[in-house]
Structure 1
Amino acid sequence: METETATAAEAAVDQNDVRWLADEEQCAWRTYLDVNRLLTYQMEKDLQPFGLTMNDYEILVNLSEAAEKRLRMSDLASATLQSKSRLSHQITRMENAGLVRRENCESDRRGLYAVLTDDGMSTMRRVAPHHVDSVRRHFIDLLTPQQLADLRTAMKPVADNLRQVRGRG
């Protein structure tokens, strides 16, 4: 299946029509990739003492900000960009740790909610200050307010485009 997809993608791009990256574009792209990998690695490392991954933390954040501290599993999968299967495995692991629980959806027998437990909320409150400190040390405080504003302005059209593409796919 992946080969068929790759072949279709390759066929969609005629080699004569490729707009190769200029040196500055290549440098910007590779710097972005490098920062993304390094920052993700550091954020994961800083969450390890708490027994959490970035995916765990993202789920806790989404649930802590949701009405009634719960979300339908399908909505949580969409919010965290995970497949339903992968999210289900992760929620099982987080259930075993006492951070979340599943509840049946009364309006849809096949639907399930992921619900933040009291222990999950307590963990969120304990970890959040450390996570924010990590974000500040490794990202926010290294940039001026103007650089942060410029970065947000530069990245917004990329994020908007990717959300639109995702919505079509």
Structure 2
Amino acid sequence: MAQEKHRAMPTREELRIWRDYIETAEALRNRLEGRLQSESSLSSADYRVLLALGEADRKTLRSSALAALIGWERSRLSHHLGRMEKRGLIRRATCADDAHGVEVVLTDLGAERFRHGSVPHLRAVRELFVDALSPERLAQVDAITTALRRRLDLGPEPSGR
């Protein structure tokens, strides 16, 4: 019987690599989120919403399109938008062409807070991620990410590009 190309279970070494990857990605995410919160008073969830709206035409997206763009369930987004609206970062309005639809609009305050938070956040990304890797290793991370995204049917490019 020919040796199977893939074993049913990962090897001990493959599991070690997997755990290291997951633990490191979590630590990086937690460190970036902590710095974003302390330096700008924005959560990573706020930042994702503000980024998507900032890149949208007229700084406006239908709520359903925003949920799909950032990969959230519509109920989670609705609750989060309520908190953001109370802080004046966004406003919600009925769609002009659909009385049942809701448009999410980036406010001037939301745009200002996003700009204010982006500078220290991007510095932290540089310091904690980019500067830790040589250009060759960064290209390897890109290739690995692309392979994983294809396996997960996420497409070759991350959301937000």
TM-score normalised to structure 2 length: 0.86
Quick check: 1:42 aligned with 2:31? yes
Which structure has more relative contact order (CA 8 Å, sep 6+)? It is 2
- Give the ranges of 4+ consecutive aligned residues of structure 1 lying more than 4 Å apart after TM superposition: none
In structure 2, relative to structure 1, the CA distance for the partners of 1:65 and 1:86 (3 Å cut) is same
Give the percent of matched residue pairs that are identical in Structure 1 and Structure 2: 36
Spell out, residue by residue over 1:38-87, the C-alpha distance to the aligned partner (whole angstroms, 9 max, x if none): 01111111022222111110111111011111111111111222111111
Superposition map of 1:4-153 within 5 A = 19-49=8-38, 50-153=40-143
Gaps of 5+ in 1: 1-16
The separation in 1 between residues aligned to 2:151 and 2:64, in whole angstroms, is: 22
Distance apart, 1:133 and its partner CA: 0.5
Q: Which one has the bigger helix percentage?
A: 1
- Provide the aligned length of Structure 1 versus Structure 2: 149
2:31 is aligned with what amino acid?
Q
RMSD over aligned CA atoms reads 1.7
1:83-142 superposed Cα distances (whole Å, 9 cap, x missing partner): 111111110111111110012112222111111000011111111010001111111110
Q: Secondary structure at the match of 1:21?
A: coil
Rounded Cα–Cα distance in structure 1 between residues aligned with 2:154 and 2:34? 32
3-state secondary structure, aligned to 1:163: coil
Cα distance in 1 for partners of 2:46, 2:22 equals 23
Q: Which residue of 1 aligns with 2:159?
A: none
TM-score scaled by structure 1? 0.82
Structure 2 spans left out of the alignment, 5+ residues? 1-5, 156-161
1:155 alignment counterpart: 145
Distance in 2 (alpha carbons) for counterparts of 1:90 and 1:133: 26
